[in-house]
Every structure is written in structure tokens, then in C-alpha cells.
Amino acid sequence: MVGGAQPINTGSDPRVLGFVDNEAYEYNMTHLAVMFYHSRENRHLHYHPIEAIKNGMPLIYMANGMLDELGGKDLPGRCKTIAEARRKIARIFNGDKEFIQDVVKSQAILLQPFTYEYCRTQWDAAFVSIDKDIARNK
């Protein structure tokens, strides 16, 4: 299935969902076998791959994007080419339980930068820096 806005008219292909309501989105996030994330943007990350990980869905994604920056450079779901992504997705569709478990278990590291504890540490450090700047300029 392909979700989200599509800049090219896909006609009546039932695999192209476009935008879905919350109920369909929730179902997809909890019942589909795998998510492929195509983006290689290094300064932007859509929320759906993070939600897929949070829901325990294996994520197959492209290298050199923001997921690399979040700790994903050495994970089994990372792919350098579309052909590699297709092979990994085929393994999941074919029920390779060991591979699926490796992907799901390893990708939890990608959630760490979104935790309260991580964010709080970053915020605290930033505010200490701001407080020092304010004190110097008084």
C-alpha cells in the first residue's frame, strides 16, 4: 500500500490509499507486515516511520537520511539501494522470523531521541547555555 499525498494521478490502483482516516491509519500501523521508508532527507523525518517502530512493525529504510543520524547506520533495516530494500521486504513477506525479530529489536534505538529523558537532557543543556549568555550580557 502507498499512503499520503500523491503528486501523480494513480488512477484507480487500490494499492494507493492517499490520505486515510484515523481508524484506517491505526489499523495499518498495527496490522501491516512492514513499512518501507524511502526518504533520504537528512534534516527531516516524517512521523509514520517512528510510529511504525513504536508499534513493533519492522521498518525498512533508505541509507543517508535522518534515520542514520538517529543511530540507524548499522541496523538490519537500513538499505543502500532500492534492490536491497526489495530483498529485505521479500524476506519479511516470506516470513523470515529471525530477520523480522532482528529488525524490530534493533530499531528501538531510533526511538531514543524522542524520549522524555533524552529531550529533557537536551533542553537542560540548552537552557544552561542560554542562562550563561543572559548573565554575561547583564
Whether the predicted pLDDT of 5 surpasses 80: no
Residues 10 and 65 sit within 8 Å (Cβ to Cβ) = no
Residue-wise pLDDT tens digits, 81-120: 999 999 999 999 999 999 999 999 999 999 999 999 999 9
Residue-wise pLDDT tens digits, 28-67: 999 999 999 999 999 999 999 999 999 999 999 999 999 9
Secondary structure of residue 62 in the 3-state scheme: strand
- How are beta strands 16-18 and 2-3 bridged, if at all? parallel
pLDDT-based confidence at residue 27 (cuts at 50, 70, 90): very high
pLDDT in the model for residue 85: 98
Which ranges of the chain does DSSP label H, i.e. alpha helix? 22-31, 47-54, 66-67, 82-93, 97-106, 116-136
